[in-house]
Structure 1
Amino acid sequence: MERAPGIRERVIDTCSRLFYDQGYLATHINQITAEAGISKSGLYQHFKSKEDLLSEYLTHAGKKWFDGLNELLVDCQSPAEILLTFFDYRKQLAETDKFKGCAFLRLVYELPALDERAYTVIRRHKQLVKTLMFNQVQLLEPATYVTARKELTELIYTLFEGCGVESSLQRSVKPIEESKAIVKRLIF
């Protein structure tokens, strides 16, 4: 028998949906408590402030993001295939989320004066993505690329992030597919 989610899990699930779908500023505590089916006092027993909810949401979003990526990476056989799979994952997310874009970047744009704790979670997530890419670039055969490993990683990462933004703007996976094709030419 499956255990019903506790208050904390319900609040995080509710915040994840609301913050992503309608934005942080448009989401109010009363809406969170109503949709999570809890009282304000129940909410504040688990979270001291809306900023705590934001940090928890970002941590949860990062874990969910990497879990999804890891599901796709299971069958990858080579560093090049892993690098290209990042773009397949970006495409999958764009289609699933109806081109709403990266949860982390959406918050950075929405909240220019974002809480430092939230910025730390976002920076850590983005740096981990870049590090995973760099680790795969390190494993490429030296003859398969013409530029230094760090520069190649920066280029791939920039294409990865940029195609996500452009995909949201165009409401199309075409920018993702084009960026993946560029990376493929760079590493093969």
Structure 2
Amino acid sequence: MSATDVRPDRERIVEAADRLFNARGVQAVGMDAVRAASGVPLKRLYAAFSSKDDLVLAVLRRREGTWGEGIAATAAGATGARERLLAVYDFLDAWFRSDDFRGCGFINTYGELGGVSPEVADAVRTQKLSFQRYVAALVDELGAPPALAAQLALLAEGAQTTAAIDGRPDAAAQARAAAEVLIDAALRPPR
């Protein structure tokens, strides 16, 4: 931490924890590592977050904001619902190619803590439901059958997992191509 860093403790702590959790996993990172990475003394760290679970939840809230802002920014130039739906996969493509991509932080955290922390499980479910609602609203705007929303959301989730496990950023392009086929089929008039 530099002497000129005046960000509030809480912000520095969450940012440092997010980086560490993403790189190493939640359970592998202790509060002392977060203290060292954030530059916030342990006493002030615990004043900001009474437990590691509270910190994990704050990191998930931060990631939810980052996710939503990233999709919105990528979709900003889109001219219609179809293009905004496909922008999800364009966002994923850029994210998968970033140096710090280690998979979905929500999925990863759920895998580590979802079975033992109802609060973490709820936070992950809330984010996934929020994304599904976003997709459903665009599908509705498009005038396509509601079932398309679940299919497109599953493609996005599957692309995240595939890209993380296989290390293949092209999973986003493959998911986008499949999404185009699904969208076109859903909009095709019945015979």
The two structures have a TM-score, normalised by structure 1, of 0.90
Q: Deviations over 1:16-48 (max 9, x none)?
A: 111111111110111111221122111111111
**TM-superposed deviation, 1:15:** 0.6
Percent identity of equivalent pairs: 23
Q: How does 1:105-184 map to 2 (within 5 A)?
A: 105-141=107-143, 149-184=145-180
CA contact (8 A) 1:47 1:53 kept: yes
CA deviation profile, 1:71-124 (whole Å, cap 9, x unmatched): 111111111101100011111111114541101001112234241122221111
Q: Is the 8 A contact 1:108 1:114 kept in 2?
A: no
* Contact kept? 2:21, 2:29, Cα under 8 Å: yes
Q: 1:38 aligns with which of 17, 37, 40?
A: 40
- Is 1:22 the equivalent of 2:18? no
- In the TM superposition, residue 160 of structure 1 has moved relative to its aligned partner by 1.0
Amino acid at match of 2:157: E
Does the Cα contact within 8 Å between 1:79 and 1:139 map onto a contact in 2? yes
Letter in 2 for 1:131: R
Which of 56, 59, 64 does residue 57 from structure 1 map onto? 59
Give the alignment's Cα RMSD to 1 decimal: 1.6
For structure 2, the 5+ residue unaligned runs are: 185-191
Aligned residue type for 1:167: A
Separation in 1 of the partners of 2:111 and 2:81?
32
List structure 1 runs of 4+ shifted beyond 4 angstroms: none
Conserved 8 A contact 2:114-2:121: no
Amino acid at match of 1:110: E
Match of 2:119, SS state, is: helix
SS of 2:97 mapped into structure 1: helix
How many matched pairs? 181
